[in-house]
Amino acid sequence: MPVKLLLTAIVIIICILLNKLSSKLGIPMLLGFILLGMFFGSDGIVKIPFDNYAFAEQICSVALIFIMFYGGFGTSWKEAKPVALKAALLSTLGVMMTSGLTGIFCRFVLGIDWLESLLVGAVIGSTDAASVFSILRAKRLNLKYNTASLLEVESGSNDPCSYMLTAVIIAVMNGSAKGASLAYMLFSQIIYGIGLGVVIALACVWAMKKIRFTTEGFDTVFVVAAALLAYSAPAALGGNGYLSVYILGIILGNARLNNKVTLVHFFDGVTGLMQMLVFFLLGLLSFPSRLPQVVFPALAIALFLTFIARPAAVFAILFPFKSKVSQELVVSWAGLRGAASIVFAIMAVMQVSTKNDIFHIVFCIVLFSILLQGSLLPLVSKKLDMLDDEGDVLKTFTDYTDEVPVQFIQSSITSEHPWCGSKLADILMPPDTIAALLKRGTEKIVPNGSTVLLAGDKLILCAKSPAHVEGVFLSERELKGKDEWIGKTLLELPGMDDKLIIMIQRNDRIIIPKGNTVLMKNDVLVMNHSE
């Protein structure tokens, strides 16, 4: 047990370091996780014996729940709305066209059996949101014609369709889907997935607005439970759990929730860890010694998928919208394969017997896609003149404000306060500061220039918060026993030339001190001082 925990800790630390390194080198980070898994795997240097597909499927399925949820949670509906129809068609009809064309290629060019060919097409039919998101953000690819939002919504929402196709083909191969049962399977996948996703999401939003959690952090635990419920409830009825959890993410991500910044940071970290886990398991499950047997058919499928199947589907769908050819080419090139394809390939290996090594074929395709398409996406966008110097790709994500940090300051307006009785328009505020909210009793007011401040008001100010401030060195001092500072005002304190008391914690109160503030026993002082 200690050895396994030690290896787990080492792998996670290396993955995090690879994540940081990959952004500097311009290499998609998920490629590093695959190679790391191969390093630790049966054919690698460490040689950890691991071929438990059942365990890997369970872990990857749970990981995909959070990847799908965050794909929806991070989508800004305001930015995505203009391209929602295009994205919906790409994530459904586009996936089916891509999968079908790939299946036809596998059958007639590579000579693979029909059902097995269609299974390969279904497994790799969807694009990888994690890879697309990371490249758009890391490279700040501000794309013209709202293309970033189109890619975000499409890549985040097309996994459910690929999953449905994979499940249907597996059922046909097992002989369990015929006639009415197949029709009901399609019905349940779509209706239960959408219906339960919407119901659970609306109930979750209501609960988070009405219920005050007694312990800090329980709201995050609540959302985790909601994501698991959104997947498991429709899945238990034969519905599409991944579609349901994506809908939950969309609705929660665009709702006005308390403590949303904390949720963003938590799920950003959790999703990153899930992505690392899935791609590491892919590398760990792989046997490099088997790759020479599948590299040529896998490479042929990857090339056909990249240069024919995906572009054909994209052009067919976007042409009626009179989209620019340059946009269609970028969207075609951004069709990276990734985490979902891995999970669906493992699912296929577990449930059906195939003549070809589906898992390692998908492994090579994903490796090729991330290495070639992922690395060259910035260059392709530049060559096609698709970069928008005036745009900001971060606006396509609901956590955009976290990229430009802000801080809030609450100021209590007393009868002696110099602002009491004044209009906001007449008050000279610090630069880069704006009044965001006014609390007057139980009433919450969004203020404007004509708002008059009254005694008893609490004014919330908003300003930019720098990531790091040079020269600030904080320390604490608790006034205990016969401390010489007890009973003195700040102006009376000796030796304060290089120190400044910026906050006093007095029992449960936080005090921003003035020169005449009297210090009391058990006060905790927070001071800034020189080095």
Range of lowest pLDDT (183-192, 296-305, 385-394, 494-503) = 385-394
Give pLDDT tens digits for 422-431: 888 888 877 7
Tell me: do 512 and 410 sit in the same domain: no
Range of lowest pLDDT (140-154, 310-324, 401-415) = 401-415
Secondary structure class of 523 (helix, strand, coil): coil
Tell me: do 482 and 414 sit in the same domain: no
Tell me: do 173 and 131 sit in the same domain: yes
| Contact (CB, 8 A) for 284 and 36 | no
CATH number, domain containing residue 116: 1.20.1530.20
| Contact (CB, 8 A) for 250 and 75 | yes
When pLDDT is cut at 50, 70 and 90, the band that residue 317 belongs to is very high
In this prediction, residue 441 carries a pLDDT of: 84
Give pLDDT tens digits for 257-292: 777 777 877 887 788 788 778 888 878 888 877 888
Tell me: do 47 and 114 sit in the same domain: yes
Tell me: do 394 and 413 sit in the same domain: no
Range of lowest pLDDT (57-61, 176-180, 231-235, 510-514) = 176-180
Tell me: do 274 and 386 sit in the same domain: yes
Q: Please count the CA atoms within 13 angstroms of the CA of 381 that sit on its side-chain side.
A: 24
When pLDDT is cut at 50, 70 and 90, the band that residue 315 belongs to is very high
Q: Please count the CA atoms within 13 angstroms of the CA of 9 that sit on its side-chain side.
A: 6
Tell me: do 224 and 244 sit in the same domain: yes
CA distance 57 to 116: 20
User: Does 412 map to a domain?
Assistant: yes
CA distance 439 to 457: 6
Give the range with max mean pLDDT: 258-272, 389-403, 515-529. 515-529
Of 400, 426, 455, the residue at which a domain comes to its end is: 400
Q: If you average pLDDT over residues 459-472, what whole number do you get?
A: 65
Beta carbons within 10 angstroms of residue 280's beta carbon? 25
**What amino acid is encoded at 220 in this protein?**
T
Tell me: do 395 and 410 sit in the same domain: no
User: Does 250 map to a domain?
Assistant: yes
Please give the tally of structural domains in the chain: 3
> Considering all CA atoms of the chain, what is the largest pairwise distance in Å, rounded to the nearest integer?
90
User: Does 469 map to a domain?
Assistant: no
Q: If you average pLDDT over residues 483-503, what whole number do you get?
A: 82
Tell me: do 429 and 396 sit in the same domain: no
In this prediction, residue 394 carries a pLDDT of: 53
Range of lowest pLDDT (111-125, 149-163, 305-319) = 149-163
Tell me: do 440 and 506 sit in the same domain: no
Tell me: do 386 and 409 sit in the same domain: no
Beta carbons within 10 angstroms of residue 208's beta carbon? 22
Beta-bridged to residue 433, according to DSSP, are 463
Reply yes or no on whether the pLDDT at 402 is more than 50.
no
CA distance 503 to 493: 15
Reply yes or no on whether the pLDDT at 165 is more than 80.
yes
Q: If you average pLDDT over residues 216-221, what whole number do you get?
A: 80
pLDDT above 90 covers a percentage of the chain that reads 15
* Domain membership of residue 92 as a residue range: 2-400
Which two three-digit tokens encode residue 471? 């020269």
When pLDDT is cut at 50, 70 and 90, the band that residue 40 belongs to is confident
Q: If you average pLDDT over residues 419-424, what whole number do you get?
A: 87
Range of lowest pLDDT (5-14, 168-177, 181-190) = 5-14
In this prediction, residue 401 carries a pLDDT of: 44
The strand order across the sheet containing 443-445 reads 406-412, 458-464, 433-440, 443-445
DSSP-based helix, strand, coil % in the chain, nearest 5: 60, 10, 30
The pTM score is: 0.70
Tell me: do 202 and 155 sit in the same domain: yes
CATH number, domain containing residue 506: 3.30.70.1450
Q: Please count the CA atoms within 13 angstroms of the CA of 149 that sit on its side-chain side.
A: 21
Reply yes or no on whether the pLDDT at 162 is more than 50.
yes
Of 400, 415, 449, the residue at which a domain comes to its end is: 400
In this prediction, residue 99 carries a pLDDT of: 93
Query: Of 199, 195, 255, 210, nearest to 73 (Cα)?
Result: 255
In this prediction, residue 378 carries a pLDDT of: 82
In this prediction, residue 403 carries a pLDDT of: 43
